[in-house]
Amino acid sequence: MSSLHLEYEVEGNNFVSAGQATEKVKFCLKGMGINPADIRRIAIAMYEAEINMVIHANGGKALVDIFVDKIVVKLVDTGPGIADIDKAMTPGFSTATDSIRDLGFGAGMGLHNMKKYTDEMYVESTVGVGTTITLVVNFS
Amino acid sequence: MTVKTLAHKLNAKELNLADPNREVERIYAGDLLSHVMGNAPSNCVWFTVMTNVNICAVATLTDCSVIVVCEGCIPDQLTLERAKTQGINILSTVLTISEAIVRVHNAG
């Protein structure tokens, strides 16, 4: 099936530019006439993933494929990796520093929100190598 | 009520009024951005004391009608510029979050 492929670089530790990839995808989906509720779901999940790469992984890449019936977003980083994925998925668990919390992040809800707002979510991670998060939202 | 009416009820400073006639249908309060993103309904007034630029992204993603920064907090210049660029309504009030909610609730 044909798809629209988009790629974005996400800069590490830059909280001013954080979220720009998500905003571009949101704008693109809006232009395609996708249901606003679906746009909201993928935008929230993707923003959480983007912020995680900014905070924890010194940035990374967002690879986006938009199909007729769904959007697939892969967020690929070469950061420290997640040692215990189950623990990281637990609401409230966070390794963010106090300075990150001062910005309003680090609530430990990021991965939880990604799961909550997507139809499929996959986390692949190897400590010392990096993390790839895949988010899928089916269009209603 | 509209954002303009809300600003009046809260005696709020109008930091950026991109769409003063936008309707406010719900109330939400919170400072931890993941909680806000996860729970703030569309077309709400969002009360917070956070002031950094990321509140603009969260407001856009949740499609809230207006951000009200409480307790006299004022967002930095970068946040205000982003609000202007993205067409986000943003107000500031000296009221605490709870005082502001009570006032909006009582105003119907």
Residue A15 and residue A22: Cα distance in Å, rounded? 13
Give me the number of domains chain B comprises. 1
Closest residue in B to A100 (Cα) is: B32
**What does the pLDDT read at residue B65?**
98
Please give chain B's pLDDT, 108 residues, in tens: 999 999 999 999 999 999 999 999 999 999 999 999 989 999 999 999 999 999 999 999 999 999 999 999 999 999 999 999 999 999 999 999 999 999 999 987
Give me the number of domains chain A comprises. 1
CA angle B95, B101, B104 (to 5 degrees): 100
> Would you place residue A3 in the very low, low, confident or very high pLDDT band (cuts 50, 70, 90)?
confident
User: Looking at beta carbons, which residues of chain B come within 8 Å of A103?
Assistant: 33, 50, 52, 54
Which residues form the domain of B23?
A: 3-106
Which residues form the domain of A65?
A: 4-138
The distance of A96 to chain B (nearest Cα, Å) reads 13
**What CATH number does the domain containing A89 carry?**
3.30.565.10
**What CATH number does the domain containing B30 carry?**
3.40.1390.20
Residue B37 and residue B41: Cα distance in Å, rounded? 9
Strand blocks (E) in chain A: 4-11, 59-66, 70-77, 120-126, 130-138
B35 touches chain A (CB under 8 A): yes
> Is the predicted ipTM greater than 0.95, yes or no?
no
Contact B54 A48 (CB under 8 A): no
